[in-house]
Amino acid sequence: MNGAQQASLPTTARGASGWRGASMRLLRMFPGWRLWRFYPALLFCVLAVLGWECMARVLHSALVPDVGTIAGEISRILTSGEAFTQIGITLWRIVLGFAAAFIVSVLIGIACARRPAVRIFFEPAIVLGLTVPGLVWTLLCVIWFGVSLATPVVAIALGIAPTLILTVIQGVNSVDPDIMEMARAYRLRRVDVFRRIWWPSLIPFLFSGARIGFSLAWKVIVLVEIFGLSDGVGYKLNSEFSLQNVEGVMAWTIVFWLAMSVLEYGVFQNAERALSQWRREART
């Protein structure tokens, strides 16, 4: 890396002058100040907890357990290790279903973007997929595949593929035609065109597709686990529900939300940052 690039690294981290600079210096005295970007998110969490606690105290109802009760329930499922097993089971199903949908969607999406006839061929299927609720796929898959791994995988794949296909089509269409013309003039090999031009152009779209896909997948997998399976977070949610255990339902939801946050901040954002280094160093 040369000097000019290093000089263009974020000026905020370097400390600007005035009020902003002073607050940055103050911030840096705390351990873990590097997490400062996340403070607004933390603020939201604190406010949400406070708000809930107020509501619980005002309503004073068994249907709205207070923060302490929910926290106790969370720590119970965490310390017993149950949370980790069940989340592991559910996440594994999501990952498999997502992987299947991802591969199919990239292939179909690229074909659709390249050939109008292919797109018109798949259009009814995509519209159908976008319209049909996840519940319908769930019921059909439970009927067809019963209690097997195929049920969640196929249901998730069907549930998220249409959305993923649309993002891939959008991504392929975003490839700069001028760059493609350059590639044709230099007679670049097909693999290079795919690896060096298409893939990098697709990456931001694939990430946003993956985020949407994961959240959709979660909504499908819960239903599958409620209706067709005997383990996983969805199954747990359902059994807490049948016991009328409100804090149990909330604890499982929160724990899964935490797992997804770890995935978002720990995996998605880091991977995206690593893959788009050029964007950050560039001047805008």
Site of interaction with other proteins (CB under 8 A)? 1-2, 4-5, 8, 178-179, 181-182, 184-188, 192, 196-197, 200, 276-279, 281-283
DSSP 209: H
Closest distance between other proteins and the C-beta of residue 10, in Å? 14
Q: Are 192 and 73 in contact (CB under 8 A)?
A: no
Closer Cβ to other proteins, 6 or 79, answer by number: 6
Amino acid at position 221, single letter:
I
Closest distance between other proteins and the C-beta of residue 13, in Å? 18
Closer Cβ to other proteins, 82 or 281, answer by number: 281
Closest distance between other proteins and the C-beta of residue 200, in Å? 4
Closest distance between other proteins and the C-beta of residue 33, in Å? 28
Closer Cβ to other proteins, 78 or 197, answer by number: 197
Closest distance between other proteins and the C-beta of residue 15, in Å? 22
Tell me how far apart the terminal alpha carbons of the chain are, to the nearest angstrom. 19
Distance, in Å, from the CA atom of 97 to the CA atom of 103, rounded to the nearest integer, reads: 10
Closest distance between other proteins and the C-beta of residue 216, in Å? 28
Distance, in Å, from the CA atom of 59 to the CA atom of 62, rounded to the nearest integer, reads: 9
Q: Which residues contact 276 (CB under 8 A, 6 or more apart)?
A: 203, 204
> What's the token pair of residue 221?
């997998």
Closer Cβ to other proteins, 69 or 276, answer by number: 276
Q: Which whole-number Å values give the CA distances from 245 to 49, 226, 249, 250, 256, in the listed order?
A: 20, 16, 7, 9, 17
Q: Which residues contact 221 (CB under 8 A, 6 or more apart)?
A: 90, 93, 94, 97, 152, 155, 156, 232, 233, 234
Closer Cβ to other proteins, 2 or 131, answer by number: 2
